Amino acid sequence: MGILRNTVIIGAIGVKAVCNVVSGTVNTAKDALALTNSLVKGDFNQAGAIAGKRVKSTCNGIEQSVLAAGQVLEQCADCFEDRNKPFLDAKTSQSLATLATAFVVADAVGAVGVATLGDDVGGDAIDSDNGLLPKGSTDSFTENGVFTGDNSDLEELKQLGEVSDTDHIDSDDIQRDLSARNEFLAQHGFNSVPEGYEVHHIVPLSEGGADTPENMILVKEDLHDEITAAHSKFYDWRKS
């Protein structure tokens, strides 16, 4: 009966953790991905901006995780001293649910490609017949092909274009297809590039990115410059 009771409690912990994850960890995972990559690249200003965005929404969660860990450790110590004291009481079950949520978030972040400390910090790409395509969707931060996201979304857009182990193509050897750009614009209801915007290739053409609508997005000129600067640092583009 004791084993069965504990199994039921552990099952309930899992349900609580899943509910917590479904209710709000998608954005947290995305921001954690952007934050981690910024730290790995040494871009502490951007890391600070991302962290600042999440402070109000996550500080309570962090505090709860720390307190939960302390409560579980305290319960372990008490049970070690008093072998008759039940470990999985209501309070400890809730604390374990909080910690389980944190662990699932960590797994979710890893699943979407958090960069590890090492030389290869880029993501993956889809190798199409026309070149590399981003392995990820821009739907969450675009409207009619136009980038409409915040700083965190901008970091995600940068990372979609940062692919490990690419073969660099010199600018003189890059061939642009104007008809592909026009097709992209037409798909989103534009006759020409809107004023103040530029067509950005998500995976850079110089790194084998496809010159097709699937690899294009409209971004403001200043943001395009920022993305290019980030990619220049990532790919180690050097001025001759």
Could you tell me which of 183, 212, 181 has the C-alpha nearest to residue 199? Answer: 181
Same domain, 104 and 9: yes
CB 158 within 8 A of CB 227: yes
Could you tell me which of 172, 180, 170 has the C-alpha nearest to residue 201? Answer: 180
Structural domain harbouring 20: 2-111
Give every strand in the sheet of 216-220, ordered side by side: 142-143, 146-147, 216-220, 197-201
Round to whole Å and give the CA distance between 171 and 163.
Answer: 18
Q: How many other CB atoms sit within 10 Å of the CB of residue 113?
A: 18
Same domain, 141 and 216: yes
Same domain, 167 and 191: yes
Task: Tell me, yes or no, whether 118 lies in a domain.
Answer: no
3-state secondary structure of 74: helix
- The number of folded domains in the chain is 2
Query: Which residue ranges of the chain lie beneath pLDDT 50?
Result: 1-28, 53-61, 104-122, 240
pLDDT at 93: 66
Same domain, 129 and 230: yes
Question: Which ranges of the chain would DSSP assign to H, the alpha helix?
Answer: 2-41, 44-81, 90-111, 151-160, 178-187, 221-235
Sequence-separated (6 or more) residues with CB below 8 Å from residue 95: 67, 68, 69, 71, 72, 75
Look at residues 76, 111, 146 and tell me which one is the last residue of a structural domain.
111
Task: Tell me, yes or no, whether 55 lies in a domain.
Answer: yes
Q: Which long-range contacts (CB under 8 A, 24 or more apart) does 66-69 make?
A: 67/95, 68/94, 68/95, 68/96, 68/98, 68/99, 69/95, 69/99
Task: Tell me, yes or no, whether 39 lies in a domain.
Answer: yes
Question: CA torsion sign, 61 to 64 to 70 to 75?
Answer: negative
**Tokens describing residue 41:** 């690249």
Same domain, 107 and 137: no
pLDDT at 90: 74
pLDDT at 118: 34
Same domain, 181 and 207: yes
Task: Tell me, yes or no, whether 99 lies in a domain.
Answer: yes
pTM for the whole structure: 0.52
Same domain, 88 and 152: no
Look at residues 111, 133, 162 and tell me which one is the last residue of a structural domain.
111
The DSSP bridge partners found for residue 218 are 146, 199
pLDDT at 31: 54
Look at residues 54, 81, 111 and tell me which one is the last residue of a structural domain.
111
pLDDT at 117: 35
